[in-house]
Structure 1
Amino acid sequence: MFKKFTKEDVHSRSNIKSSAQRGLKTKFVDQFEDLEPVIDNIIPKKSQAILIKCEDKIQLYSVENEVVLFQHFDDLIPTLKIVHKYPQCFPRVQVDRGAIKFVLSGANIMCPGLTSAGAKLPEENLEVDTIVTIYAEGKENALAVGKLVMSTDEIKSKNKGIGIELLHYLGDGLWTLSE
């Protein structure tokens, strides 16, 4: 999604009203319940959030000169910088070592990379379209954020095809974007 993203892809910037900012925080917490205790750290009450509209119907939300989340259609998706600060707040999957170079080049994640020896899927089933953080075998921090194309149970049983659509990864245009 952000593979070739640059400042030229930004169309407009506008301040968000405080009521819309409260609504944004509520929607973000509804999507990721574990954010409840830290949402005021991510989007402080007295801060001014900025909406940045970009190509392909992507909207970035910036607080204090840092993009904290983005929206693509209805999904609110945390940036990796937020995932690194609050890793316990988001569903996580782990890919094996062999998938790392492909993920860091922007490739979608195939099922075998999620079911092999070094990979881990959560015990409980995650439904299709769930936003997940992607970690790599032997690495401490998340390397990407993606959206499940199949449920985790389906990934385990089929073990073929694309399991996760990659949305944002280390080193992409959003990661390197500065306000």
Structure 2
Amino acid sequence: MFKKFTKEDVHTRTNVKSSVQRALKSKFVSQFEKLESVIDEIIPKKSAVELLKCEDKIQLYIVDDEVVFFQQFDELIPSIKIVQKYPDAFPSVKVDRGAIKFVLSGANIMCPGLTSPGAGLPDAPGYEKEKIVAIYAEGKEHALAIGKLIMSTEDIKSINKGIGIELVHYLGDGLWNFQAD
């Protein structure tokens, strides 16, 4: 999604009203329940939230010159920088070492990279299809990508073929390197 994202992809930049900020905060918390205790740290009450409307109907929400989350259509998706600051607040999966170079080049994650030794999926019941997850790598401390499950984690374990996660945002992509100033 952000492989070749640059400042030229931004069309408009506006400040978000406080009523809209409150609605965004509650929507973000409803998507990721564990954020409730830290949402006021992520988006402080008196902070100015900016909305950047970009190509492909992507909207970036910026607080203090840092992209906090983005939206394409209806779902709010956290930036990797926010996931790295609050790692326990987001659902996560782990890929094996062999998948790291592919993830960092923007490839979708195949099921075998999520089920092999060194990888990790949550125990049953797991996550449902379409869930946004933070992607960690075997032996690494911080998240290296954000993705959307193409199938449930139970299906990934049982089918073990094809694409398991569609990559949305990863370390080194255009959004990671984006300077909001």
Calculate the TM-score normalised by the size of structure 1. 0.99
CA distance in 2, matches of 1:139, 1:78: 20
- Per-residue deviation, 1:125: 1.7
Matched residue SS, 2:120: coil
Work out the number of aligned pairs and report it.
Answer: 179
Structure 1 counterpart of 2:101? 101
- Per-residue deviation, 1:75: 1.1
Matched residue SS, 2:146: strand
- Following superposition of structure 1 onto structure 2, how do residues 1-179 of structure 1 map, counting pairs within 5 Å? 1-123=1-123, 124-179=125-180
- What are structure 2's unaligned runs of at least 5 residues? none
CA distance in 1, matches of 2:74, 2:156: 24
CA offset digits 1:40-82 (Å, max 9, x no partner): 0000000010000000110000011111000011110000000
Note the aligned Cα RMSD (angstroms).
0.5
CA offset digits 1:103-143 (Å, max 9, x no partner): 00000000000000110001132001100000000000000
Matched residue SS, 2:156: helix
CA distance in 1, matches of 2:18, 2:75: 21
Q: Which runs of 4+ in 1 moved over 3 A?
A: none
CA distance in 1, matches of 2:17, 2:128: 33
Question: One-letter code of the match for 2:17?
Answer: K
CA distance in 2, matches of 1:118, 1:57: 37
Question: One-letter code of the match for 1:169?
Answer: Y
Identity level (%): 73
Judge which range, 25-34 or 123-132, deviates more.
123-132
- What are structure 1's unaligned runs of at least 5 residues? none
CA distance in 2, matches of 1:44, 1:159: 42
Matched residue SS, 1:83: helix
